[in-house]
């Protein structure tokens, strides 16, 4: 089974790239983030023609998540356990589904903007809700079912996951509270499965559009796959598809792909 995650930065703007990539990479399940479209406006027909069932959760603003599956789509869950609101709105940033016996969550963690900003506090509260959701999903023997949280975490797990850590001393994505939230997921039994046989020494997943960041490889690894032992133990390969970041009309994120032998 091939499972991927991709922040497409607008499914409408990226539709030709998405359709082309689905056709060539042939993933069985794709967790998509930053749809920037309402659920009713999602381009279902073009995706369904490729054999995918679709679950999406979006309101048309800058967030929105989806799960695409060629192996079944069941037990769809929108939003986290006790997911917090921002400015009175519970944003569509999390979507769970069971696909071919594998339970996945597509997540788009809030950016946080900057330490001390209300959005940063919102980000930490959101990550607490994600932790609670992981505990609920893996409780009562459910851990026997392969389970993973995939998406844009807006957190670089280590200093090596950004191109120059000295430039991030006053920034989000690398602060101790954010990384502690990832550590809580690991304490809950999840593993960061992508640092395996990767095809690049520094497998970044995001590069800003500005200042030639991609050609200069000034990137960050913030798109992650955190999985339980049943999922992680079945991984045979994992890679960042850098080719999909190249060229006209690309997202600023690259797909992250994981192959499993279940």
| Domains: count for the chain | 1
Residues near 217 by Cβ (< 8 Å), separated by ≥ 6? 163, 202, 204, 207
Residue-number span of the structural domain to which 45 is assigned: 2-260
Distance CA 118, CA 127 (A): 14
pLDDT at 184: 97
**In CATH, what number is assigned to the domain containing residue 135?**
3.60.10.10
Q: Which residues of 100-120 are buried (b: 16+ CB within 10 A; e: fewer)?
A: bebbbbbbbbbbbeeeeeebb
pLDDT at 199: 52
Instruction: State pLDDT tens for residues 196-205.
Output: 545 556 689 9
**Is residue 31 a contact partner of residue 67, using CB atoms and an 8 Å limit?**
yes
**Is residue 249 a contact partner of residue 15, using CB atoms and an 8 Å limit?**
no
Mean pLDDT by 10 residues, the chain (262 residues): 98 97 98 97 96 96 94 98 97 98 98 96 98 92 82 96 91 96 96 68 88 94 96 94 95 97 93
Distance CA 86, CA 2 (A): 34
pLDDT at 162: 94
Structure-token pair, residue 158: 């280590």
| Distances 204 to 120, 158, 172, 207, 229 between C-alpha atoms, Å | 23, 12, 17, 8, 24
pLDDT at 93: 98
State residue 198 phi and psi, 5-degree precision: -80, 155
pLDDT at 197: 45
């Amino acid at each position: 089974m091939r499972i991927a995650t991709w922040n497409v930065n607008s499914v409408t703007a990226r539709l030709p790239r998405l359709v082309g990539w689905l056709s060539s990479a042939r993933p069985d399940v794709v967790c998509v983030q930053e749809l920037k479209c309402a659920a009713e406006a999602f381009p279902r027909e073009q995706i369904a023609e490729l054999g995918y069932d679709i679950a999406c959760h979006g309101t048309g603003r800058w967030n929105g998540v989806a799960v695409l599956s060629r192996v079944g789509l069941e037990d769809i869950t929108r939003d986290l356990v006790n997911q917090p609101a921002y400015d009175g709105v519970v944003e569509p940033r999390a979507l769970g589904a069971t696909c071919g016996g594998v339970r996945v969550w597509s997540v788009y963690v809030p950016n946080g903007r900057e330490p001390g900003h209300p959005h940063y506090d919102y980000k930490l509260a959101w990550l607490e809700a994600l932790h609670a959701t992981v505990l609920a999903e893996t409780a009562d023997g459910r851990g026997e079912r392969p389970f993973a949280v995939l998406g844009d975490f807006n957190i670089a797990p280590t200093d090596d996951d950004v191109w120059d850590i000295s430039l991030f001393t006053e920034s989000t994505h690398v602060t101790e509270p954010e990384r502690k939230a990832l550590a809580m997921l690991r304490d809950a039994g999840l593993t960061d499965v992508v640092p395996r046989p990767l095809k690049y020494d520094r497998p970044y997943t995001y590069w800003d559009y500005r200042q030639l960041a991609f050609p200069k490889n000034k990137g960050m690894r913030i798109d992650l796959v955190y999985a339980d032992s049943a999922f992680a133990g079945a991984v045979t390969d994992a890679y960042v598809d850098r080719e999909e970041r190249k060229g006209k009309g690309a997202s600023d994120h690259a797909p992250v792909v994981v192959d499993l032998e279940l």
